[in-house]
């Protein structure tokens, strides 16, 4: 069998290198593509490396079965697709071959010379190089092959870390990069596009932080344990820099990379003596043990934190100054790939003058470290960095808007609502655009709802009503755009995400969604506030809408098609199908009716339902807004919804529900008091 998406067909995958990362890349592909029975072959000239790679995969599959995250049947199917061999001939004609060998340019060139002879006319060749630019790796290949060659840089551990840097060479086909970005997103990765430069975008930040941490130790700011702990806390890291080096075995490659960066990136980058000693000894860094509490005086912690923040902000700013990656892509790739606080949001929250001052203090005591132009320029404006969470990409006369906040499953907050509104305003008057597609990033969620922290900040009924009204602006504009708007449900739409989808002219969904739509607001002690109480009854009928709104009854993709909420379920490239539908609707080839804004003929009361643990006080408000609002024209009903959403913010149950969610998550039921 084969997997086809975005004009790329994958029927066989090859991985060259069975070391630290190759087997993990192979495992991810086998996991993602096992429903299509796509085989994955790992090739290495070392028999012991192949044995270790196979053992590593078997151990991971066994642990997944033990944890219950993978069935025995799935583990067997995935393991059966993975093959380990020293025979390069098994790669002949493979659809995609990824080299994951040692970070050595002559070795990489030799491997790709061999792979070029085994390639078919459609074979994609990729290097997992962590530093070397594609034009250096593929220079000896012919132009036809260079057009289908790139760097696809994974991060540790490659089967679980979502980030993949897609680095094109001067002759790489742009269509290939677009197709691979779509493919990687569809199999659960976060692809970011980077131009070729030594180290690319993310590694100079991580390795720069390692250098800064080592220098802090050499300068006497603290021990490796103390610097590791203070850095982890101050930068919001999953693990400190020394711990990360121990986990990845990264000392040798960082030693080499920092020396190369001296010429490529600037004189501050260099291999410090402590790192040279660590490579020579082969010993791991001394780091905090699991659950070990490192005691630091407030002053020592402050000094270390200030130094590491100055280094972090400066490193990130230098990458943005280089122009090799967009701010939005840099933000998400650092946050997700390095598991630390998103840098530009961090600087915005701290205040750009304070961030700039931290960089300047670091630069003053570290020759060769520069203060980035982008930070100075943005601080001078008095405004924060603009971080794009709603991305626009035009496909001819159809614009695709993608909500991308992967760490919170595309949850809506004030910034996202504002950016959606700004994008819609621009699209309404853009003469080149005939139709619009709205989708979410990734495979799990279209939009997971409103960010609960956003809701928790509401302090009064008036503020609640204002918040509800503001959350409607973008959806109202999309609904009345004057151009067809197709929602492409790449995953579940919860709460505010469902309400946003209802504003679109039509909806299509990825086939097989067990939950396509859900309105779980009553579990939080609130009523829907972005139009759901008025649009859902008009689209699916009173009885079904009441069950969805009052007790959170979900709607699957198949059920959504049957009741007319979803136009169709789609296999394959969902966004391409949505673009096609929007274009056809714009040309009049397909009629998409949208929502009827007229009042509904409403019953005197809604059907009786078992509310379970839910608040009776909240339900009373919800029933009132459904019954009274739907008897009015849509615009008036939406106004009533905002008013009663605000009234709900005065209920004790609203505070109980929101705080319970923040403390315990969605699985623990709130103990409402019904007032």
pLDDT band at 609 (very low <50, low <70, confident <90, very high): very high
pLDDT band at 528 (very low <50, low <70, confident <90, very high): very high
What per-residue confidence (pLDDT) applies to 451? 84
Q: Tell me the CATH number for domain 390-664.
A: 3.90.226.10
203-381 fold: 1.10.1040
pLDDT band at 382 (very low <50, low <70, confident <90, very high): very high
Q: Tell me the CATH number for domain 3-195.
A: 3.40.50.720
Give the HSE-up count for residue 306: Cα atoms under 13 Å, Cβ half-sphere. 15
pLDDT band at 452 (very low <50, low <70, confident <90, very high): confident
Average pLDDT over residues 120-145: 96
Q: Where is 308: in which H helix or E strand? A: helix 298-322
CA angle, 269 as apex, 263 and 270 as ends, to 5°? 90
Spatial distance between the Cα atoms of 402 and 391, rounded to a whole number of angstroms: 5
Give the HSE-up count for residue 57: Cα atoms under 13 Å, Cβ half-sphere. 31
Written in H, E and C, the secondary structure of 246-259 is: HHHCCHHHHHHHHH
Q: For 342-356, write each residue's pLDDT tens digit.
A: 999 999 999 999 999
| 154 bridge partner residues | 164
Average pLDDT over residues 299-328: 98
The beta strand positions in 404-518, using DSSP E, are 435-440, 445-447, 485-489, 492-494, 506-510, 517-518
Average pLDDT over residues 109-114: 98
Question: How large a percentage of the chain has pLDDT more than 70?
Answer: 100
99 Cβ neighbours under 8 A, 6+ residues apart: 16, 17, 108, 111, 112, 115, 125, 126, 127, 128, 129
Q: For 258-282, write each residue's pLDDT tens digit.
A: 999 999 999 999 999 999 999 999 9
Judged against a pLDDT cut of 90, whether residue 666 lies above it is answered with: no
pLDDT band at 636 (very low <50, low <70, confident <90, very high): very high
pLDDT band at 1 (very low <50, low <70, confident <90, very high): confident
What per-residue confidence (pLDDT) applies to 542? 96
Q: For 361-372, write each residue's pLDDT tens digit.
A: 999 999 999 999
- Our answer to whether residue 521 is catalytic in this structure is yes
Spatial distance between the Cα atoms of 315 and 92, rounded to a whole number of angstroms: 42
Q: How many residues does this entry show for the chain?
A: 675
What per-residue confidence (pLDDT) applies to 454? 80
- Our answer to whether residue 608 is catalytic in this structure is no
- Cis peptide bond prior to 358, omega within 30° of 0: no
Query: Nearest to residue 111, comparing CAs of 97, 132, 94?
Result: 97
Starting from the edge strand earliest in sequence, which strands make up the sheet with 445-447, in order? Answer: 445-447, 492-494, 517-518
CB 423 within 8 A of CB 390: yes
Q: Where is 395: in which H helix or E strand? A: strand 390-395
Residue found under tokens 């109480």: 533
**Burial (CB count within 10 angstroms: exposed 0-12, middle 13-18, buried 19+), residue 610:** exposed
Mean pLDDT score of the chain: 96
Give the HSE-up count for residue 16: Cα atoms under 13 Å, Cβ half-sphere. 30
Average pLDDT over residues 653-675: 93
pLDDT band at 439 (very low <50, low <70, confident <90, very high): very high
pTM of the predicted protein model: 0.94
Q: What backbone torsions phi and psi does residue 487 show, to the nearest 5 degrees?
A: -90, 125
Give the HSE-up count for residue 230: Cα atoms under 13 Å, Cβ half-sphere. 27
Written in H, E and C, the secondary structure of 187-250 is: CCCEEEEEECCCCCCCHHHHHHHHHHHHHHHHCCCCCHHHHHHHHHHHHCCCCCHHHHHHHHCC
Judged against a pLDDT cut of 90, whether residue 6 lies above it is answered with: no
What per-residue confidence (pLDDT) applies to 70? 94
Query: Nearest to residue 519, comparing CAs of 565, 476, 467?
Result: 565
Average pLDDT over residues 146-170: 97
* Domain edges within the chain: 3-195, 203-381, 390-664
**Integer CA distances (angstroms), 517 to 299, 495, 577, in order:** 51, 8, 20
CB 94 within 8 A of CB 14: yes
272 Cβ neighbours under 8 A, 6+ residues apart: 211, 214, 215, 218, 258
What per-residue confidence (pLDDT) applies to 290? 87
Residue found under tokens 């930040």: 205
Task: Kindly name the residue from 165, 521, 569, 641 that is annotated as catalytic.
Answer: 521
Task: Kindly name the residue from 165, 301, 479, 499 that is annotated as catalytic.
Answer: 499
Judged against a pLDDT cut of 90, whether residue 450 lies above it is answered with: no
What per-residue confidence (pLDDT) applies to 453? 84
**Integer CA distances (angstroms), 599 to 232, 293, 501, 626, 638, in order:** 56, 62, 21, 11, 12
Spatial distance between the Cα atoms of 202 and 342, rounded to a whole number of angstroms: 12
Spatial distance between the Cα atoms of 402 and 487, rounded to a whole number of angstroms: 10
What per-residue confidence (pLDDT) applies to 555? 97
């Amino acid at each position: 069998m084969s997997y086809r998406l975005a004009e790329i067909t994958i029927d066989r995958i090859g991985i060259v290198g069975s070391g630290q990362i190759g087997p993990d890349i192979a495992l991810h592909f086998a996991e993602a593509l096992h429903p299509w029975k796509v085989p994955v072959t790992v090739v290495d000239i070392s028999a012991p490396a192949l044995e270790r790679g196979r053992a590593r995969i078997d151990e991971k599959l066994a642990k997944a079965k033990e944890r219950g995250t993978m069935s025995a049947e799935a583990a067997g199917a995935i393991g059966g697709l993975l093959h380990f061999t020293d025979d390069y001939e098994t790669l002949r004609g493979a659809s995609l071959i990824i080299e994951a060998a040692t970070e050595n340019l002559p070795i990489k060139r030799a491997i790709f010379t061999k792979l070029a002879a085994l390639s078919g006319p459609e074979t994609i060749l990729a290097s997992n190089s962590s530093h070397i630019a594609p034009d250096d790796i593929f220079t000896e290949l012919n132009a036809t092959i260079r057009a289908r060659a790139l760097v696809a840089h994974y991060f540790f551990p490659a089967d679980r870390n979502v980030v993949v840097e897609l680095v094109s060479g001067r002759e790489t086909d742009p269509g290939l990069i677009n197709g691979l970005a779509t493919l990687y997103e569809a199999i659960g990765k976060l692809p970011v596009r980077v131009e070729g430069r030594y180290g690319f975008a993310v590694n100079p930040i991580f390795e720069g932080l390692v250098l800064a941490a080592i220098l802090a130790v050499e300068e006497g700011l603290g021990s490796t344990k103390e610097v590791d702990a203070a850095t982890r806390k101050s930068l919001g890291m999953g693990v400190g820099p020394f711990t990360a080096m121990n986990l990845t075995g990264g000392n040798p490659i960082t030693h080499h990379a920092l020396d190369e960066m001296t010429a490529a990136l600037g004189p501050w980058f260099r291999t410090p003596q402590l790192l040279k000693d660590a490579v020579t000894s082969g010993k791991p860094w001394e780091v905090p043990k699991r659950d070990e509490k490192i005691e630091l005086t407030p002053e020592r912690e402050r000094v270390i934190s200030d130094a590491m923040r100055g280094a972090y902000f400066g490193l990130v700013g230098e990458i943005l100054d280089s122009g090799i990656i967009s701010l939005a892509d840099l933000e998400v790739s650092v946050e997700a790939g390095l598991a630390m606080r998103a840098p530009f949001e961090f600087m915005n929250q701290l205040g750009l003058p304070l961030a700039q001052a931290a960089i300047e203090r670091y630069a003053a005591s570290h020759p060769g470290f520069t203060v980035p132009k982008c930070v100075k320029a943005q601080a001078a404006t008095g405004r924060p960095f603009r971080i794009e969470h709603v991305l626009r990409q035009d496909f001819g006369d159809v614009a695709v808007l993608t909500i991308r906040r992967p760490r919170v499953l595309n949850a809506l907050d004030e910034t996202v609502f504002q950016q959606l509104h700004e994008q819609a305003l621009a699209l309404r008057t853009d003469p080149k655009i005939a139709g619009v597609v709205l989708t979410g990033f990734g495979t799990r969620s279209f939009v997971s709802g409103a960010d609960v922290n956003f809701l928790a900040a509401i302090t009064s009924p008036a503020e609640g009503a204002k918040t509800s009204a503001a959350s409607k602006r973008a959806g109202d504009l999309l609904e009345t755009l004057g151009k067809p708007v197709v929602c492409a449900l790449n995953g579940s739409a919860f709460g505010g995400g469902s309400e946003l989808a209802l504003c679109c002219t039509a909806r299509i969904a990825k086939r097989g969604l067990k939950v396509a739509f859900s309105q779980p607001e009553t579990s939080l002690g609130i009523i829907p506030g972005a139009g759901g109480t008025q649009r859902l009854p008009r689209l699916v009928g009173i009885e079904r809408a009441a069950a969805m709104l009052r007790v959170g009854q979900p709607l699957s993709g198949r059920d959504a098609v049957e009741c007319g909420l979803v136009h169709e379920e789609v296999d394959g490239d969902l966004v391409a199908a949505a673009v096609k539908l929007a274009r056809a609707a714009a040309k009049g080839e397909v009629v998409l009716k949208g929502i009827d804004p007229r009042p509904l003929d409403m019953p005197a009361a809604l059907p009786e339902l078992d509310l379970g643990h839910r608040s009776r006080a909240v339900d009373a408000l919800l029933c009132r807004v459904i019954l009274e609002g739907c008897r009015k024209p849509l615009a008036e009903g939406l106004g009533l919804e905002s008013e009663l959403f605000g009234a709900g913010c005065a209920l004790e149950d609203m505070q109980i529900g929101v705080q319970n969610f923040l403390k315990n998550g969605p699985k623990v039921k709130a103990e409402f008091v019904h007032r």
